[in-house]
Structure 1
Amino acid sequence: MYRYDSYDQTLVDERVAQFRDQMDRYLAGKLGEEEFRPVRLQNGLYIQRHAPMLRIAIPYGMLSSDQLRALATITRRYDRGYGHFTTRQNLQLNWPAQEDVPDILADLAKVQMHAIQTSGNCIRNTTSDQFAGIAKDEVVDPRPWCELIRQWSTLHPEFAYLPRKFKIAVTGATEDRAAIHVHDIGLRLFLNDAGELRFRVLAGGGMGRTPMIGEVVRADLPWQHLLTYLEAIVRVYNQFGRRDNKFKARIKILVKALGVEEFARRVEAEWAHLKDGPQTLNEGAVDEAKTHFPEPARRPVAESAIVAYETLRQENRAFARFVTNNVMDHKVPGYKAVTLSLKRREAAPGDITADQMDAVADLAETFGFGELRVTHEQNLVLSDVPVDEIEALWQQLDALGMANPTVGTLNDIICCPGGDFCSLANAVSIPIAQAIQERFEDLDFLYDLGPIDLNISGCMNACGHHHVGNIGILGVDKKGEEYYQISLGGNADDDVSLGKILGPSFYREDVPDVIDKVLQVYVEKRLDDERFLDTYRRVGHQAFKERVYAA
């Protein structure tokens, strides 16, 4: 994984010192609230419902075991002994004292981490496929390109005060696991018929108050021009994006207002000033980025070990469930990627304790190469586990409460912190997730249902990605009371779609019953081996609506 060079380390260290001085002046009353607000936001510091919240960057979702141990120490020293992984592959601390944040940032810098641009109207943390570099369906490893984007976008002087926040996602696989269609910019790496590397560039996607699916602004961009073309897009947005209304300030509103053809024309005109300029990439720059993501020294796995693994899977039902749901095929025979579930009823989805962080760091070194991935579904991944060690890993994960064999099922719920923490939320999210998990805890029933994405957001900002959940739940406020709006048919994959609202919202205690009725229709109407989303699209919205609202 990427390691800081002297330039990176100097930049981050200087940023920590700068923020420490800004914090000291703010606490001394020498820096006003309005002056301090953009400063703290671009260092990841929010003021939430009960306490400050610090969002720590995990670029393209990659963590080392040493970094995870440092996060464990930080949560014990400065917080309440746990952290929360988000849908954008970051980690949030929910209870730090504001005056401690400079010390936290200094401790992060010691292990090559930071919180720069995890908030504010700037280019945020670039995200990618959690299985980048190891997936069997991968065409090109996106991580070096993500790193080049990180270097280009970090503290970019022209883009420090954009009309609104800006998010970029990159995938290099045939299956989109990075949700590129619902980002401000989505990038897909591919090889053309001549075997040349290209980017397909989408712009104008996003969720929030006005969800939209991104549109192709350039279908075939040579790799050399990646950064200059991105610069052209963000320049057009910076110049023409609305600043008079924050609810209409995202690039998706600009693309919609201009039309994708006119937007692309303006980008091309801006790009004419940048193309073939100093930021044009060459093979040396790309090769340098690639050196930070070498193939690990994987030991050969004997064929007999693979056979023994498959035999155990057939003979041990509990192990088989874990493998079916939490273990993914690897590009290298004899290896697997293993997802560690952070979905337990006794904790919020995505939460992990300091003790668990330390234990997982040990597991990453014992069963891999000291590397972890953060997923969009708020889980963790060990990327390189030999099949003859998966049983031992499973047993240790079970002892940690992280072997829940429900990845990809209804109970693998994506959920924002909601009203329990967030000052923007209209309603709580975590208790809804826990109530659904309790209602539908029978594993046989979950497996019979098949893959279902259920996403929950506490407000229209859609941090829980409810718009692209097969089943989406949105907390809304009605005259001071919490209600929940249900949508169906969303999907974040290549066959992307936005969910359609069922109808009037529901009381909190009614939500599990509503989900039950939705599932009843699916079970009754589905064809053999048909997934929920396919049944919904074939049967139509009305059948589900009639069942849910029947007297």
Structure 2
Amino acid sequence: MYRYDTYDQTLVEERVAQFRDQMTRFLEGRLGEEEFRPLRLQNGLYIQRHAPMLRIAVPYGMLSSHQLRTIADITRRYDRAYGHLSTRQNVQINWPKIEDVPDILAELAAVQMHAIQTSGNCVRNTTTDQFAGIAQDEVEDPRAWCELIRQWSTLHPEFAYLPRKFKIAVTGATHDRAAVQVHDIGIRLWHTEDGDVRACMMVGGGLGRTPTVGTVIREDLPWQHILTYIEAIVRVYNQFGRRDNKFKARIKILVKALGIDEFRRRVDEEWAYLENGSQTITQEAIDHARSFFPDPERHPVDQAGIDAFEQLRRDNKAFGRFVTNNVTGHKVPGYCAVTLSLKHKTHAPGDITADKMDVVADLADRYGFGELRITHEQNMVLSDVPVDELESLWKALDAHDMASPTIGTLTDIICCPGGDFCSLANAKSIPIAQAIQAKFDDLDFVYDLGPLDLNISGCMNACGHHHVGNIGILGVDKKGEEYYQVSLGGSSLDDASIGKILGPSFFREDVPSVIEKVLQVYVRERHEDERFVETYRRLGIKPFKEYVYA
């Protein structure tokens, strides 16, 4: 994984010193709240409903076991001994004292981490496929390209105060696991017949109040121009994006207002000044970035070990379930990637205690070369597990109550912190997720449903990605009371789509039974091997609506 060079380390340390001075001036009353607000936001510091919240950047979702142990230690000494994984592959701590944040940032800097640009109207953390570099269907490893985007975007002086926040996602696989179509800029890397890298550039996707699937603006951009073309897009947005209304300030509004053809014309006009400029990527630059992501020295797994694993999978039903749902194929025969579910009934989806962070760090050292991935579904991945050691890993996870075999199922719920923490939320999200998990605790039924995404947001900002859930739940406020709106048919995959609202909203207590009725229609009407979203698209919303509101 990427390691800081002297430039990175100096930048991050100087940023900590700068923010420490800003914090001191704020606490002494020499900086007002309005002056301090953009400064703290650019360093990932929010003021939430009950306490500050610090969002720690995890570039493209990759971190080391040593970094995870540091976060665990920080949460014990400065917080309440747990962290929360966000849908942008970052880590959040929810209870730090505001005066402690500079010290936290200094400790993060010591292990090559920071919180720069995890908030504010700037280019946020670039995200990618959690299986980048190891996926069997990968055409191009996106990590080096993500790193170049990180370097370009960090503290870019022209884009520090954009009309609104700006999000970029990159995938290099044939199957999109990075939700690139619902980002401000989505990039799909592909190869020509002679093996040259090209980029399909999408623009204007996003969720929030106006959920939109992005539009292709350039299908076959040569790799050398990826950064300059991104810069041209962001320049056009920075110049013409609305600043008079924050609800209409995202790039998707500008793209829709201008139309994709006019937006493309303006981007190309701007790109003419940048196309062969200093940000043009050279072979030397991309080779240097790739050098930070070498393959680990994996020991070969012989055929006998692979055969024994397959036999155990057939013989042991519990182990077989875990493999089917939580284990993903690897580009190297004899290896796999293992996703650890952080969707436990007793705590919020995506939360992980400091003690379990230490456990996961130890497992990463033992089974995965000390490397970890955070997924945008709020889980964690061990990326390089030999299949002949998978049973041992499974038993270790089970001993720590971390072997839930439910990845990709109904109960693998994406959920924002909601009204329990966020000052923007209209309603609580966590109790809804826990009630649904309690309602559907029969694993046989959950498995029979097949792959199913259920996403929950506490407000229209859509941090829980409810718009692209096969089933989406949105908390709404009705005269001071919490209600919940249900949508159906969303997807963040290759067939990306925005869910359609089922009808009037529901009381909190009714939500699990509403979901049950939706699933009853699906089970009754589905064709063999048909996913929920496929059944919905075939039938439309009418039969679901009639049954739920009957």
TM-score class, shorter: over 0.9
Residue aligning to 2:440: 440
Q: In the alignment, does 2:340 pair up with 1:330?
A: no
What residue ranges of structure 2 are gaps of 5+ in the alignment? none
Residue aligning to 2:182: 182
Residue aligning to 1:148: 148
Amino acid at match of 1:191: H
Residue aligning to 2:24: 24
Residue aligning to 1:92: 92
Q: In the alignment, does 2:509 pair up with 1:544?
A: no
Residue aligning to 2:286: 286
CA distance in 2, matches of 1:201, 1:224: 13
SS in 2 for 1:200: strand
Residue aligning to 1:403: 403
CA distance in 2, matches of 1:352, 1:105: 20
Deviation at 1:529, TM superposition (A): 1.1
SS in 2 for 1:53: strand
Residue aligning to 2:427: 427
Residue aligning to 2:503: 503
Report 1:448-459 matches (<5 A): 448-459=448-459
Amino acid at match of 2:232: A
Amino acid at match of 1:103: D
CA distance in 2, matches of 1:518, 1:200: 36
SS in 1 for 2:349: coil
Deviation at 1:402, TM superposition (A): 1.4
Report 1:289-304 matches (<5 A): 289-304=289-304
SS in 1 for 2:40: helix
CA distance in 2, matches of 1:396, 1:350: 20
Report 1:260-271 matches (<5 A): 260-271=260-271
Deviation at 1:194, TM superposition (A): 3.2
SS in 2 for 1:12: helix
Residue aligning to 2:204: 204
Residue aligning to 1:481: 481
- Segment of structure 1 superposing worse, 194-203 or 288-297: 194-203
Residue aligning to 1:83: 83
Deviation at 1:399, TM superposition (A): 1.6
CA distance in 2, matches of 1:493, 1:326: 18
Amino acid at match of 2:527: L
Residue aligning to 1:239: 239
Q: In the alignment, does 2:33 pair up with 1:47?
A: no
SS in 2 for 1:522: helix
Deviation at 1:195, TM superposition (A): 2.3
CA distance in 1, matches of 2:401, 2:163: 43
Residue aligning to 1:225: 225
SS in 2 for 1:342: coil
CA distance in 2, matches of 1:399, 1:89: 26
Residue correspondences, number? 550
Amino acid at match of 1:84: H
Report 1:305-324 matches (<5 A): 305-324=305-324
Residue by residue over 1:12-34, the C-alpha shift from the partner in whole angstroms, topping out at 9 and shown as x without a partner, is: 00000000000000000000111
Residue aligning to 1:159: 159
Deviation at 1:239, TM superposition (A): 0.1
Structure 1: 4+ residue segments shifted above 6 A? none
Residue aligning to 1:521: 521
CA distance in 2, matches of 1:275, 1:380: 38
Amino acid at match of 2:162: L
CA distance in 1, matches of 2:148, 2:529: 42
Residue aligning to 1:57: 57
Amino acid at match of 1:80: R
Q: In the alignment, does 2:213 pair up with 1:213?
A: yes
Amino acid at match of 1:179: A
Residue by residue over 1:371-423, the C-alpha shift from the partner in whole angstroms, topping out at 9 and shown as x without a partner, is: 00000110000000000100010011112221100000000000000000000
Deviation at 1:193, TM superposition (A): 2.8
Deviation at 1:172, TM superposition (A): 0.1
Deviation at 1:215, TM superposition (A): 0.4
Q: In the alignment, does 2:72 pair up with 1:69?
A: no
Residue aligning to 1:133: 133
SS in 2 for 1:49: coil
Residue aligning to 2:353: 353
CA distance in 2, matches of 1:127, 1:536: 29
What residue ranges of structure 1 are gaps of 5+ in the alignment? none
In percent, how many aligned pairs have the same letter?
76
- Segment of structure 1 superposing worse, 365-374 or 192-201: 192-201
CA distance in 2, matches of 1:376, 1:34: 32
Residue aligning to 1:254: 254
SS in 2 for 1:88: coil
CA distance in 2, matches of 1:530, 1:210: 29
Q: In the alignment, does 2:124 pair up with 1:121?
A: no
CA distance in 1, matches of 2:402, 2:124: 29
Deviation at 1:256, TM superposition (A): 0.3
